Structure 1
Amino acid sequence: MNEKILVADEVSSLGIRRLESAGFQVDIKTGLTEDELSEIIVDYNAIIIRSSTRITQKVLSNAKNLKIIGRAGVGVDNINVEAATKYGVVVINSPEGNIISAAEHTFGLIISLLRNIPQSDRSVRSLEWKRNKFTGHELYRKTIGIVGLGKVGSNVAKYSKAFGMKVIAFDPYISFDRAKEMGISLMSLDDVFKEADVITVHVPKTKETYHLVNKERISLMKKGSYIVNAARGGVVDEAAVADALKSGHLAGVASDVFEVEPIANDNPYISIDNTVLTPHIGAATKEAQVNVILDVVEQVIAFFEGRVPHGAVNLPAFRGVSDDLLPWIDLAERLGKFIKDMVSQRVNKIEIIYYGDIAKKNINPVSVSVLKGYLIKIKGNYVSFVNALPLANDLGIKYTESKESEDVDFKSVITVKVITDSGVRSVSGTILSDQKPRIIGIDDYRVDTFPEGYLLISRHKDKPGIIGRFGTVLGENKINIAGMQLGRNSKSGLAVMILSVDSEVHDSVLESLISGGDIEELRLIYLS
């Protein structure tokens, strides 16, 4: 191997030795600024990082020889994945190397919180012996509410059952059958907050999960209950939790992650005693750190040997795929993201239907790309082309693909249908002669729009004044309309409108649009 690899964050020496034994030239340079990294990155074919180093647009624009970025961990928030894809650089991560460590740390926080272990430790070190002051609670027969039943949440559920706890959970994506197999009662989010003695969150930070634990939901909780966050900073509204701690409504909070890291003097938890705080060390075990670096190293080796790395999170991961299929893979991921944002209900099944010439091609990577797009909206950017299908299986989501000989209007079409308890929703797309993706159908409505950026989708009564209202309200809120498409259904008397807008439309603006009446459904969809 003649490739040069830069290791830009501290990692286990076992990973370094494995790379060197495979014949790579490895340089270790940690603590680099963006400018310093931008200056030297041109010399390297691969870079391995953890969470400290940021791979930005500026860095990538100078990385003329870079082929692959290895993230030793799960989150890729510190990597501009979109820019990496543009430059043809593969991004890989290690989505499962630290699951056990994160779950164990969560449970350590729970026990520490309910038994006042850190506080009593500090007291004893001050030569105090105040046993009554630190009387805690048993976990046995308590109810734990788990928000998010992914790999970490599922392990926390298993540990909780071993302690004799009743396990309830909210996860709008896992099937009831899968939850039943795990011995977990699925409930609505509000009901979980009402019934749980301990709430623990295990969800990625997204627009939907930002401040998921807020003042309103905390008010639903029992007096004297607890909150634990070892997932992502920002999922919990720290100010709201601090107020509930001060008022006595909450008995305690434990957090490994914070909205601002490193934690600052103005963090509301700092001055409150009934808190257990750790510096984002959920994955900081020797075992996890070895697991993730060895996993990433093996993927880097596989990549340079011509194999597909199992943790690839972006489009260039498809080797051996013909160039003419790449636009369809891109379209498929966009359709998966689109249909996820269109549906609020739990999805039982995803159907992918191919019409025309595309049905004659190797559709497997296209189908996987649909699942990847759908799951990214749920699980975040650690979803890859390789783990998308197993993740769908974990959630109990069935998927099928079928082929039809032709479509009446287009040479090739992909239709994605989702089946929920409430019915069926669908979106269709194609690639036109300019090789650009188009959405050409939403449910029974024919449209023609480019699936990119912010799309405001309205299903409303087909009557005068609706379009004018949207223009007025969006204009008043300084939201520019870049494009508009309409679709009509004479049988239902309804129409669909797709507005491409230049910026995010906040909830207050959406509520203002809905309050005018005649709108059956309004969705804001973001497609990067």
Structure 2
Amino acid sequence: MRIAILDDYQNVALGLADWDSLDAEVRVFTEPLADADAVCAALAGFDVVVAMRERTRFPADVLAGLPDLRLLVSTGPVNAAIDVAAARERGIVVCGTGILKYPTVELTWALILAAARNLRTEADSVRAGGWQVGLGVGLHGKTLGLLGLGRLGGEVARIGQAFGMECIAWSANLTAERAAEHGVTAVAKDELFARADVVSVHLVLSARTTALVGAAELALMRPTAILVNTSRGPIVDEAALLDVLRRGTIGGAALDVYDREPLPPEHPLRGLDNALLTPHIGYVVRETYEIFYRDAVENIAAFRAGEPIRVMK
């Protein structure tokens, strides 16, 4: 059996699970594969592929170009980058793993706090020999607007309340009763963007949510308001966001996710002082990776024994 572990950017996979127990050839790819042709060329001859979340896409045409593939393991329980139906048609089993939710919640608050207190600018000043260079803003008494109030959004709201923030939320199916269970007020989408001092995105990417945050929504935001996205890049219209950041009509953006990842070196977001950027690390903590790779090894062993587990439907 030949196993490929994809997109292990930190080169940690082999040390976080007992791959030797599989008695198989294991190859780790630490760099992203550029396109579909590169994926098919690099993975030719592999029986098993372990994909890191949605970093590498497996649409029907890529799956068709991998005739030896028998098992595709995705870290996490779901993966929008895999055409599961097409895999099933080709006899490829697709399995998932467990995941932790709290690391993304923690990073969301790291970004909110860093943006509100200008931490990047202040830290850079100290490192360069300087001292205080600006005024941050406090969060107590401010309004936190949540796009999505599921498990992640609900946890973000709970922490916002601990900071003394008023929490409001919107999603397509959110009811006043459901919001009240979290101590949150359900509002219309336009009201959320107009009222919130911090807008934080916690929605699943779908056809309905793609570009949900567009020019019209961004135009409603206060000139001091901060947009935070730790969900998926395409939920926010990137061109519209670049426009308001360049014009300074909102206070700034704190982003962990992008339309294209890794973010190209020449991307215009990298040159904006009012954009705080992290490299999609919401889930990237040791505890999550230990679950990912431990479960991946279990999935492969179970598949080899003829009893696949955690199979995606």
- TM-score (norm: length of structure 2): 0.85
Deviation, structure 1 residue 297: 3.0
Q: Deviations over 1:192-217 (max 9, x none)?
A: 11221100111222222122111111
d(CA) in 1 for partners of 2:79, 2:193: 30
Q: Contact 2:17–2:290 at 8 Å: present in 1 too?
A: no
Secondary structure, counterpart of 1:144 in structure 2: strand
Secondary structure, counterpart of 1:199 in structure 2: strand
- Look at both structures and tell me which one has the larger radius of gyration over its CA atoms: 1
d(CA) in 2 for partners of 1:295, 1:150: 25
- For 1:117-128, list aligned pairs within 5 A: 117-128=119-130
* Correspondence for 2:109: 107
Secondary structure, counterpart of 2:234 in structure 1: coil
Say if 2:11 is the partner of 1:13.
no
- Amino acid across the alignment from 1:40: G
* Correspondence for 1:262: 262
* Correspondence for 2:90: 87
Secondary structure, counterpart of 1:168 in structure 2: strand
Indicate how the Cα distance of structure 1 residues 79 and 187 shifts in structure 2: closer, same or farther if over 3 A, else same: same
Q: Contact 2:146–2:168 at 8 Å: present in 1 too?
A: yes
Deviation, structure 1 residue 270: 2.7
- For 1:368-407, list aligned pairs within 5 A: none
Secondary structure, counterpart of 1:134 in structure 2: coil
Deviation, structure 1 residue 85: 1.8
Indicate how the Cα distance of structure 1 residues 214 and 268 shifts in structure 2: closer, same or farther if over 3 A, else same: farther
- For 1:303-322, list aligned pairs within 5 A: 303-305=303-305, 307=307, 309-310=309-310, 312-314=311-313
Secondary structure, counterpart of 2:233 in structure 1: coil
Indicate how the Cα distance of structure 1 residues 52 and 221 shifts in structure 2: closer, same or farther if over 3 A, else same: closer
What is the aligned counterpart of 2:41 among 36, 43, 49?
A: 36
Deviation, structure 1 residue 286: 1.5
d(CA) in 2 for partners of 1:37, 1:264: 22
Give the structure, 1 or 2, with the largest relative contact order (CA under 8 Å, sep 6 or more).
2
Say if 2:289 is the partner of 1:289.
yes
Secondary structure, counterpart of 1:228 in structure 2: strand
d(CA) in 1 for partners of 2:196, 2:74: 35
Q: Deviations over 1:470-501 (max 9, x none)?
A: xxxxxxxxxxxxxxxxxxxxxxxxxxxxxxxx
Q: Contact 1:199–1:226 at 8 Å: present in 2 too?
A: yes
Please, what is the CA RMSD of the aligned residues? Answer: 2.6
d(CA) in 2 for partners of 1:163, 1:302: 46
- For 1:40-439, list aligned pairs within 5 A: 40-41=45-46, 44=47, 46-50=48-52, 51-57=54-60, 59-61=62-64, 63-64=66-67, 66-73=69-76, 76-94=79-97, 97-129=99-131, 131=132, 133-264=133-264, 267-305=267-305, 307=307, 309-310=309-310, 312-314=311-313
Deviation, structure 1 residue 167: 1.3
Matched positions, count = 303
- TM-score (norm: length of structure 1): 0.52
* Correspondence for 2:24: 25
d(CA) in 2 for partners of 1:212, 1:56: 24
Secondary structure, counterpart of 1:104 in structure 2: helix
d(CA) in 2 for partners of 1:230, 1:174: 20
Indicate how the Cα distance of structure 1 residues 7 and 187 shifts in structure 2: closer, same or farther if over 3 A, else same: same
- Amino acid across the alignment from 1:255: L
d(CA) in 2 for partners of 1:35, 1:299: 23
* Structure 1: gaps of 5 or more residues: 315-528
d(CA) in 1 for partners of 2:122, 2:198: 21
Deviation, structure 1 residue 308: 5.8
Which 10-residue stretch deviates more, 298-307 or 272-281?
298-307
